[in-house]
Amino acid sequence: MSERKPGRILLSVQGFEPKKWQDLLSAGHEVVLSPGGEADAIDYAVVWKHEHGLLAKLPGLKAIFSIGAGVDHVLSDPDLPDVPVVRVVASNLTQHMVDYVVWRVTDHHRQGIFYRSEQARGNWRDRTQPPSPDVSVGILGLGELGRAAAKALIAIGYDVKGWTRTPRTVDGVETFSGDEGLTPFLNATDILVVLLPHTPATEGIVDYELLSRLRRDNGLGGACLINAGRGKLQKEADILRALDDGTLKEASLDVFETEPLPRLSPLWSHPRVFVTPHAAATSDATHLVPLMLEQMARLERGEPLQNVVDRAAGY
Ligand code: NDP
Ligand code: OXD
């Protein structure tokens, strides 16, 4: 029987090359890509879209680390063992998301889609440009990412509102919560930014009915949607319907019901949709692995883990 090596990590990822993660996690730890014949010797799992059922076969597992801030890909495993699930909270990832949100908000506000299309036709044509304090940006989800995005948007001058599950106070942000807070929040929002997790309560929330409650008489020429949360939050057929009947003016979508976005999706070629390939805030091993290793060290020292997911809430 082989000697038990403490701190052995199972790295189980789908959709990208694990080598960089494996190399960096190997600093002081043995890292395997499959449990092989020593499933009982695995202490930690570092996962992105792991094979469901795999983690239930690891009797010595102490904690599961999500490679992303979202943990829907972990919690959807029906056989998830009852150990802490740790998600990413990292300044590097947060900054990437802030950059993306500021980029898309300012582009919609300053009519980027319109001007790019006018340039392509050689048209010298101006369009209304209300100043940022006259533009209301509503953020669905004021967590780590939503709060940081709000702060950056406030610094530029936008009128920022936010919606959460539980009541929250955030400096400079008009906050709303729960079902009763959603309609007043939407009615006062010109540009909607979605930074919610995907949970049973949020699935499909961005539908035609929700979009129709946004403010449209705002000087921007209509309401705009930015979704960088999860694709399963949105109903793409409803977004297309809303774009085509004027309920929605434009959309920036980073996440999709099916990823990669199928080649035949009409979203690819819609003139008022800006598509990015789930790239708003990509997890970077260089920045995130040291945080994971520090958490494992905390656990080994008997200290509590940080950023542990609330499994009942789903995020
Ligand atoms: P947090 O867990 O810190 O925040 C989640 C926020 O959503 C909280 O404000 C929470 O409310 C709110 N929320 C959750 N459920 C509901 C609900 N039912 N009704 C209303 N509000 C709700 O998450 P992060 O900010 O770190 O990340 C948000 C999401 O961003 C991730 O789950 C992931 O899906 C996505 N993401 C996407 C990336 C990309 O590249 N596109 C990169 C990274 C993350 P409350 O404050 O009351 O708890
Ligand atoms: C995440 C993501 O959840 O990249 O971090 O989507």
Contact yes or no for 105/99 (Cβ under 8 A): no
| CA atoms of 223 and 233, how far apart (whole Å) | 18
- Ligand 2: residue of 73, 85, 88 to mutate (most ligand atoms within 8 A of CB) is 88
Percent of the chain predicted with pLDDT > 70: 98
| Catalytic annotation, pick one of 215, 216, 278, 287 | 278
Question: Residue 229 maps to which CATH number?
Answer: 3.40.50.720
Whether the link from the prior residue into 271 is cis, omega within 30° of 0, is no
Both 219 and 100 in a single domain? yes
Q: What integer is the mean pLDDT of 182-201? A: 98
Please write the tens of the pLDDT for every residue from 65-74.
Answer: 999 999 999 9
Q: Provide the H-helix boundaries in 195-284.
A: 208-211, 236-244
Please write the tens of the pLDDT for every residue from 143-159.
Answer: 999 999 999 999 999 99
| Catalytic annotation, pick one of 121, 125, 230, 298 | 230
Report how many domains make up the chain. Answer: 2
301 belongs to the catalytic site:
no
Tokens encoding 22: 């494996």
Contact yes or no for 98/268 (Cβ under 8 A): no
Contacts of 302 (CB under 8 A, 6+ apart): none
Both 257 and 291 in a single domain? no
Is 309 inside any structural domain?
no
What angle, rounded to 10 degrees, do the helices at 91-109 and 144-156 form? 50
Taking the CA of residue 313 as reference, the ligand 1 atom at the shortest distance is 15
Please write the tens of the pLDDT for every residue from 40-49.
Answer: 999 999 999 9
Q: What integer is the mean pLDDT of 87-106? A: 98
Contact yes or no for 37/29 (Cβ under 8 A): no
Ligand 1 pocket residue status of 139, Cβ below 6 Å: no
Q: What integer is the mean pLDDT of 283-305? A: 96
Contact yes or no for 97/145 (Cβ under 8 A): yes
Q: Which domain holds residue 82?
A: 9-88+283-300
Please write the tens of the pLDDT for every residue from 249-276.
Answer: 999 999 999 999 999 999 999 999 999 9
Is 52 inside any structural domain?
yes
What pTM, to 2 d.p., does this model score? 0.97
Name the residue with the closest Cα to ligand 1, atom 3: 143
What is the Cα Rg of the chain in Å?
21
Both 146 and 95 in a single domain? yes
> 280 alpha carbon to ligand 1 midpoint, in Å?
14
Both 20 and 112 in a single domain? no
Is 172 inside any structural domain?
yes
Both 64 and 153 in a single domain? no
Q: What's the pLDDT at 6?
A: 55
Antiparallel, parallel or unpaired: β 136-140 and 44-48: unpaired
- Give the total residue count for the chain: 315
Is 3 inside any structural domain?
no
Both 267 and 293 in a single domain? no
Both 291 and 231 in a single domain? no
Is 307 inside any structural domain?
no
> 91 alpha carbon to ligand 2 midpoint, in Å?
14
Both 140 and 288 in a single domain? no
Nearest bound ligand to the CA of residue 100? 1
Nearest bound ligand to the CA of residue 96? 1
Both 95 and 84 in a single domain? no
Both 96 and 21 in a single domain? no
Is 308 inside any structural domain?
no
Ligand 1 pocket residue status of 74, Cβ below 6 Å: no
**Tokens 């990292």 identify what position?**
90
Q: What integer is the mean pLDDT of 289-308? A: 96
96 belongs to the catalytic site:
no
Q: What's the pLDDT at 218?
A: 86
Tokens encoding 185: 């929040």
Both 224 and 125 in a single domain? yes
